[in-house]
């Protein structure tokens, strides 16, 4: 059972920007109306739909990229789609192949092996592309740092399109087209924080338009929604619109491959939420690239025959089950190694860890320890590492500086998540450096913070409030799911449920109101339930009772107090 985390409850800092357009009441329940005002949401935000998506050619480079693809299709030339082995890269690859084929093109996809090749466009893929006779290579979710590889391809007469959303180096690859929102720097455009799947979606929209195909079914952003949610990019601007539309497509008309994936994840497609993607579909898709080969997930997403899709999804879920076991081992062992670490960043390494799952454990440990975590899995004299930050403590700047000092031989990623490669003999110096650099970069480490969005009385915990909240979603990075508090609740019944009693099921009494709650990972806190409590929670539908029933998804509990501290 996981360690109990002691949170400080603080009001959530203001999220709204200078462009906030909140003006008047929207007829929501009072607590939701207050939330809307605090976040600065206007009617354009609440009622936005796919028609509000930025024009595809607003994204720099998309016009040139779509021109190259159009020419290749018209000349019946082979298009080599190079992807990545995480959920964003897998969905990006699948979407590119699906749309290019629907438009009459000849796509061939390639996803590198995490263990033999590592991340990004490498020599093996370059050789396969040249040998295939392809006229065009297009990367999805990678490639912005592939300087030498792009040069080799260009010398071989192959046109190169880079579509990515990761940070660039000081020098850019000499590609025929570069499409990466990071190149826009501080631009505040709605497309600025697109995922890899979002970037290729813009390019493919341009391609379809230029070929006179319009909004073909294959362009529906169902795969974009999965890639965007799983990559944890901010769910504002175009990302929110793409995920909102993608969820509608996934609920109403999922492909055979995605239907099979939903069944394997135990998700009902008609009720699919962004949370179901992140915690249900995403882990299964990711598992193939983590401990097997991502080709399996791409093939599933492209499959149109239901029986074959079912077999492929079952096989992937078996891989995912194995992944969970490996992750549990890493999490347990790394947690023990880091238990007494008091540095501003927690770094450790082991010979016994599977490199495909250390990112998952690093993410869980960073939340538990409330500080960035770097885990490294050794393979001989080299190690592969995963780093995860926490809000207010980005990990990318630290690793970027370590790279400049020659302590790493490869790294890349985002502000809060990155991968790295390191030689064993540089590890001691690397560990000392990042600990020192983090101490100068971060404020003093404190207990984890749980940000509260407002109070929600028992009388407001109902289907009406939940329906109003759903109009503000989907929730995620940049638009976090609201966390509420209600005070003075008495637990009239409770029990530990789930495997090994890991979760907490409880009913609360407040006056004439009784509310059901579930606390995931809180099964070890039953001893705290013999008193009046203040509860921090999110509001959700109660799938077990159905209908208009709602439940509290408990995030934390404290002895009842008069005011928020």
Spatial CA neighbour of 198 closest among 180, 214, 176: 180
Q: How do strand 346-350 and strand 373-379 relate by DSSP bridges?
A: parallel
Residue 564 pLDDT level (bands cut at 50, 70, 90): very low
Mean pLDDT for 450-474 is 91
Mean pLDDT for 488-515 is 86
| pLDDT exceeds 50 at position 18 | no
The confidence score (pLDDT) of residue 352 equals 93
The confidence score (pLDDT) of residue 514 equals 80
* Measured distance CA(548)–CA(521) in Å, rounded: 26
Q: Are 289 and 114 in contact (CB under 8 A)?
A: yes
The confidence score (pLDDT) of residue 358 equals 93
Residue 20 pLDDT level (bands cut at 50, 70, 90): low
* Residues 161-177: tens digit of each pLDDT: 999 998 888 899 999 99
Give, to the nearest 10 degrees, the angle between helix 30-39 and helix 463-470.
Answer: 20
**Percent with pLDDT over 90 in the chain:** 65
Span 340-441: which CATH code? 3.10.310.30
Residue 212 pLDDT level (bands cut at 50, 70, 90): very high
User: DSSP labels for 154-193?
Assistant: HHTT-EEEEE--SPP-SS----SEEE-GGGGTT---TTTT
Which run of H or of E encompasses 81? strand 78-82
Q: Are 553 and 520 in contact (CB under 8 A)?
A: yes
- Looking from the CA of 207 toward its CB, the CA atoms found within 13 Å total 30
* Measured distance CA(53)–CA(242) in Å, rounded: 8
Mean pLDDT for 497-510 is 87
Residues 6+ away with beta carbon under 8 Å from 279: none
SS (H, E, C) 7-46: CEEEECCCCCCCCCCCCCCCCCCHHHHHHHHHHCCCHHHH
The separation between the first and the last C-alpha atoms of the chain, rounded to the nearest angstrom, is 28
Spatial CA neighbour of 141 closest among 106, 95, 206: 95
Give 55-253's CATH code, choosing from 2.40.70.10, 3.90.1640.30, 1.20.140.10, 1.10.760.10: 3.90.1640.30
Q: Are 426 and 407 in contact (CB under 8 A)?
A: yes
Strand partners, 536: 485, 556
* Residues 414-426: tens digit of each pLDDT: 788 888 999 999 9
Q: State pTM to two decimals.
A: 0.86
Mean pLDDT for 248-254 is 94
The confidence score (pLDDT) of residue 413 equals 76
* Measured distance CA(146)–CA(476) in Å, rounded: 30
DSSP class of residue 353? -
* Residues 330-367: tens digit of each pLDDT: 999 999 999 888 889 999 999 999 988 999 899 989 98
The confidence score (pLDDT) of residue 27 equals 81
Q: Could you state, in order of their start, the residue ranges of all structural domains in the chain?
A: 8-44+451-559, 55-253, 340-441
Strand partners, 80: 108, 137
DSSP class of residue 277? I
* Measured distance CA(309)–CA(329) in Å, rounded: 31
* Residues 272-320: tens digit of each pLDDT: 999 899 989 999 999 988 888 999 999 999 999 999 999 999 999 999 9
Residue 565 pLDDT level (bands cut at 50, 70, 90): very low
- Write phi, then psi, for 25 (nearest 5 degrees): -60, 145
Residue 441 pLDDT level (bands cut at 50, 70, 90): confident
pLDDT: is 294 or 2 the higher one? 294
Q: Is domain 8-44+451-559 in CATH 2.40.50.460, yes or no?
A: yes
Sheet holding 346-350, edge to edge: 346-350, 373-379, 382-388, 417-423, 410-413
Which run of H or of E encompasses 348? strand 346-350
Q: Are 169 and 162 in contact (CB under 8 A)?
A: no
Q: Are 141 and 89 in contact (CB under 8 A)?
A: yes
Structure tokens at 102: 């629907």
**Percent with pLDDT over 70 in the chain:** 95
| pLDDT exceeds 60 at position 235 | yes
Q: Are 506 and 528 in contact (CB under 8 A)?
A: no
Over its C-alpha atoms, the chain yields an Rg (Å, rounded) of 24
């Amino acid at each position: 059972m996981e360690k109990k985390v002691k949170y400080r409850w603080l009001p959530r800092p203001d999220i709204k920007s200078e462009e906030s357009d909140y003006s008047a009441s929207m007829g929501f329940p009072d607590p939701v109306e207050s939330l809307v005002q605090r976040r600065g949401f206007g009617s354009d935000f609440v009622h936005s739909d796919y028609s509000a998506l930025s024009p595809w050619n607003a994204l720099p480079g998309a016009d040139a990229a779509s021109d190259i693809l159009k020419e290749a299709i018209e000349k019946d030339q082979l298009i080599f789609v190079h992807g990545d082995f995480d959920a964003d890269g897998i969905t990006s690859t699948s979407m590119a192949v699906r749309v290019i084929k629907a438009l009459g093109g000849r796509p061939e996809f390639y996803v590198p092996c995490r263990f033999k090749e590592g991340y990004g466009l490498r020599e093996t893929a370059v050789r396969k592309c040249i040998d295939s006779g392809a006229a065009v290579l297009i990367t999805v979710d990678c490639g912005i740092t592939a300087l030498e590889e792009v040069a080799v391809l260009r010398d071989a007469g192959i046109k190169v399109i880079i579509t990515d959303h990761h940070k660039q180096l000081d020098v850019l690859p000499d590609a025929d087209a570069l499409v990466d929102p990071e190149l826009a720097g501080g631009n505040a455009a709605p497309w600025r924080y697109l995922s890899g799947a979002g970037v290729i979606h813009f390019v493919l929209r341009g391609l379809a338009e230029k070929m006179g195909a319009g909004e073909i079914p294959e362009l529906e952003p169902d795969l974009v929604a999965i890639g965007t949610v799983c990559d944890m990019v901010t769910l504002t601007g175009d990302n929110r619109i793409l995920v909102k539309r993608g969820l509608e497509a996934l609920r109403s008309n999922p492909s055979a491959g995605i239907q099979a994936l939903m069944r394997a994840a135990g998700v009902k497609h008609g009720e699919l939420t962004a949370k179901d993607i992140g915690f249900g579909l995403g882990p299964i898709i990711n598992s193939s690239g983590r401990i097997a080969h991502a080709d399996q997930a791409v093939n599933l997403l492209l499959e149109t025959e239901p029986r074959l899709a079912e077999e492929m999804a079952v096989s992937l879920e078996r891989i995912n089950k194995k992944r969970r076991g490996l992750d549990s081992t890493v999490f347990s062992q790394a947690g023990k190694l880091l238990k007494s670490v008091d540095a501003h960043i927690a770094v450790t390494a082991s010979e016994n860890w599977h490199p495909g799952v250390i990112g998952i454990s690093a993410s869980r440990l960073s939340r538990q320890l409330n500080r960035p975590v770097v885990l490294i899995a050794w393979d001989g004299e080299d190690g592969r590492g995963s780093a995860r930050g926490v809000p207010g403590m980005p990990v990318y700047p630290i690793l970027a500086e370590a790279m400049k000092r020659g302590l790493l031989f490869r790294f890349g990623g985002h502000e809060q998540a990155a991968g790295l490669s390191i030689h064993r003999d540089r590890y001691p110096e690397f560990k000392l450096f990042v600990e020192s650099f983090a101490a100068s970069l971060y404020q003093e480490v404190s207990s984890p913070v749980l940000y509260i969005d407002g109070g929600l009385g028992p009388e407001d915990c109902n289907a009406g409030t939940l329906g109003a909240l759903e109009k503000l979603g989907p929730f995620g990075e940049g638009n976090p799911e609201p966390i509420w508090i209600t005070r003075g609740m008495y637990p009239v019944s409770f029990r530990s449920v789930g495997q090994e009693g890991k979760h907490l099921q409880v009913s609360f009494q407040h006056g004439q109101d009784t509310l059901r709650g579930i606390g995931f990972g809180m099964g070890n806190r039953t001893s705290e339930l013999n008193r009046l409590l203040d509860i921090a929670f999110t509001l959700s539908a109660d799938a077990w009772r159905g209908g208009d029933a709602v439940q509290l998804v408990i995030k934390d509990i404290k002895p009842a107090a008069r005011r928020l501290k």
